[in-house]
């Protein structure tokens, strides 16, 4: 699952030594990243062009290339910007916590821009190991961390059995939504979320429990 989060700069010039000459403009930097994010959401990954980004940012192409050696590098960083902080819920129970997480995910899928973003991302990941890595250590990791924390708390409370495979559980929670959204085209909604949480709870309930 991915829920987009806040991420810091991936590529940056070494700023340790004081460079001579005019310093790089922080404004231009932000404008470029902002334009890239906007274009990725608007037209999708493939249709984004460096010229379009530069134009939208009101910046010369050279200014873009001075900071990012190639399109891929910039897009990776831009993708990192498309983040939502995902609050880790604490409702006191596993079901409540998981549903809160699910609702955050549903919110993302409900955004019409997400289809292009997600699919473009997936295509880019398949083509570039660097992009794949950026996405995995970026917003996917954030989601997984949130799920992990919720699950561990549930284990600690005795709601779920100790030793459950957290990675597996995470994929079971997020996978069906992802698959439905991108491939099979069914509704990605609250009932689906509820069913999945229910399946998970049943499957990983404390032994001898429920």
Partner DNA sequence: TCCTAAGCGAGACGGTACGTCCAGTCTTCGT
Partner DNA sequence: ACGAAGACTGGACGTACCGTCTCGCTTAGGA
Site of interaction with its own copies (CB under 8 A): 1-2, 44-46, 115-116, 118-120, 122-123, 125-127, 132, 135-136, 140, 144, 165, 167-168, 170-172, 174-180, 182-186, 192, 195-196, 198-200, 202-203
In sign, the C-alpha dihedral spanning 77, 79, 82, 84 is negative
**13 or 185: CB nearest its own copies:** 185
Helix axes 71-81, 50-57, angle to 10 degrees: 50
**66 or 133: CB nearest DNA:** 66
Q: How far apart are CA 124 and CA 136, in angstroms?
A: 12
Residue 88 interaction partner, one of its own copies, DNA, none, beta carbon < 5-8 Å per kind? none
Name the CA radius of gyration of the chain, rounded: 20
Q: How far apart are CA 197 and CA 202, in angstroms?
A: 9
Q: How far apart are CA 197 and CA 3, in angstroms?
A: 17
Q: How far apart are CA 86 and CA 148, in angstroms?
A: 13
Looking at residues 28 to 87 of the shown chain, list those that interact with DNA (rule: CB under 7 A): 28-29, 47-52, 58-63, 65-67, 69-71
What's the closest the beta carbon of residue 191 comes to its own copies, in angstroms?
A: 9
State which of residues 14, 16, 21, 202 lies at the interface with DNA (CB under 7 A): 21
Q: How far apart are CA 15 and CA 151, in angstroms?
A: 41
Stretch touching DNA by CB under 7 A, among 17-25, 78-86, 164-172, 176-184: 17-25
Q: How far apart are CA 121 and CA 1, in angstroms?
A: 13
What's the closest the beta carbon of residue 67 comes to its own copies, in angstroms?
A: 20
Binding site for DNA (CB under 7 A): 13, 18-25, 28-29, 47-52, 58-63, 65-67, 69-71
């Amino acid at each position: 699952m991915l829920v987009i989060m806040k991420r810091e700069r991936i590529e940056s010039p070494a700023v340790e030594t004081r460079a001579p000459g005019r310093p790089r403009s922080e404004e231009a930097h932000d404008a470029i990243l902002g334009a890239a994010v906007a274009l990725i959401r608007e037209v999708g990954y493939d249709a984004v062009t460096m010229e379009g980004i530069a134009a939208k940012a009101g910046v010369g192409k050279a200014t873009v290339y001075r900071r990012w050696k190639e399109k891929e590098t910039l897009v990776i960083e831009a993708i990192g910007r498309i983040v939502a902080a995902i609050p880790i819920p604490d409702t006191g129970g596993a079901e409540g916590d998981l549903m809160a997480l699910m609702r955050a995910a549903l919110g993302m899928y409900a955004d019409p821009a997400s289809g292009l973003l997600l699919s473009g991302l997936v295509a880019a990941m398949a083509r570039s190991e660097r992009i794949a890595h950026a996405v995995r250590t970026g917003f996917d990791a954030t989601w997984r961390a949130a799920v992990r924390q919720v699950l561990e708390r549930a284990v600690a409370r005795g709601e779920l059995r100790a030793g459950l495979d957290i990675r597996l559980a995470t994929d079971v929670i997020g996978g069906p939504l992802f698959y439905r959204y991108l491939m099979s085209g069914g509704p990605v909604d609250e009932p689906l979320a509820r069913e999945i949480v229910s399946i998970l709870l049943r499957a990983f309930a404390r032994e001898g429990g429920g």
